[in-house]
Amino acid sequence: MSDPGRGGGAWDAALEPEILVLPTPAAASREAAQRIALALTAAVAARGAAHWVTTGGSTPGPIYRHLVGDELRTTVPWSDVHLWWGDERWVAASDVLSNALVCWDLLLRDVPVPLEQIHVMPVGAALESGKGPEAVAEAYITALRGAKLDVDAAGFPGLDVVLAGIGSDGHLFSVFPGSSTWDDPAWVQAVPAPTHISPRVARITLHPLIMGAARMPVVVVSGGAKAAIVGRIFGPREDPRDLPGLLARRPGGIWILDDAAAAELPSELRGTSIE
């Protein structure tokens, strides 16, 4: 009998995501881009539209570069793709810290996603008009509700692909360990500036259970600095409030790691290395 995540040997593959270990960060980004392209294409074929939540940090840039490359750009029906963000920082739209900016620069100039389907969290507009982070969260809830997505039993919308990186503390989106977002069912929430992790600016974040409701969570992690947190996420199960990244450790998800990030992955889970 299996005893998933108990740290003693037997993991039940049926309760785990697919885990791919690639030799380099570049190979991991390429694999992620291929998986995202396939999933978006399949969602459009199945439901007429694909809803993709993308991320910030350093993870998405190299993935966008692969998506606009010759191999993938023309394989995705971009005109039926809706783009959303898992979180945004409280900075101007033109600030290098903006999670949306890298997407405009590296992806959206080269693929024909209609403007009305690019659902940026409207932080820039709020700053210009003197509104606060709560108003942005409210506006984003309205936008998400307008997409009329199916909701799961817990009341959260099922987006097709939810791409995320993982913070070195195990955060997911801008849901940090101990976050109060769990106590409020609002789909999108304002988060005060973290004091333990950069950049120390306020954020707007999706509720962590939106990762739980995703049709396909895709987590991409590279570098030895993340090895310990990846090892902890795939160790004995903890309370996700202490370790939000656990929300993506579930069937139907894909974790794409480079060798360095996978260094502390339990050996039972290293069955899917691509060398």
- Smallest gap from Cβ 71 to ligand 6PG, in A, equals 23
Three-class SS state of 25 = helix
Is 63 within 8 Å of 36 (Cβ atoms)?
Answer: yes
- Number of Cβ within 10 Å of residue 155's Cβ equals 11
Minimum CB distance to ligand 6PG smaller for 99 or for 179: 99
- Smallest gap from Cβ 18 to ligand 6PG, in A, equals 20
The 10 Å CB-count burial string (b at 16+, else e) for 37-56 is bebbbebbeeeebbbbbbbb
Report the amino acid identity of residue 54.
T
Whether omega before 60 lies within 30 degrees of 0, making that bond cis, reads no
- Smallest gap from Cβ 55 to ligand 6PG, in A, equals 5
Q: How many CA atoms lie within 13 A of 219 on its CB side?
A: 32
Q: Look at residues 181, 175, 252, 170 and name the one whose alpha carbon lies nearest to residue 217.
A: 252
Minimum CB distance to ligand 6PG smaller for 5 or for 56: 56
The contact set with ligand 6PG (CB under 6 A) reads 55-59, 86-87, 89, 99, 164-167, 171, 173-174
Minimum CB distance to ligand 6PG smaller for 31 or for 80: 31
Of all residues in the shown chain, the one whose CB is closest to ligand 6PG is 57
Minimum CB distance to ligand 6PG smaller for 78 or for 173: 173
- Smallest gap from Cβ 208 to ligand 6PG, in A, equals 11
- Smallest gap from Cβ 200 to ligand 6PG, in A, equals 11
DSSP of 88-128: EESS-TTSTT-HHHHHIIIIITTS---GGGB----HHHHHH
Minimum CB distance to ligand 6PG smaller for 11 or for 173: 173
- Smallest gap from Cβ 32 to ligand 6PG, in A, equals 11
Minimum CB distance to ligand 6PG smaller for 11 or for 207: 207
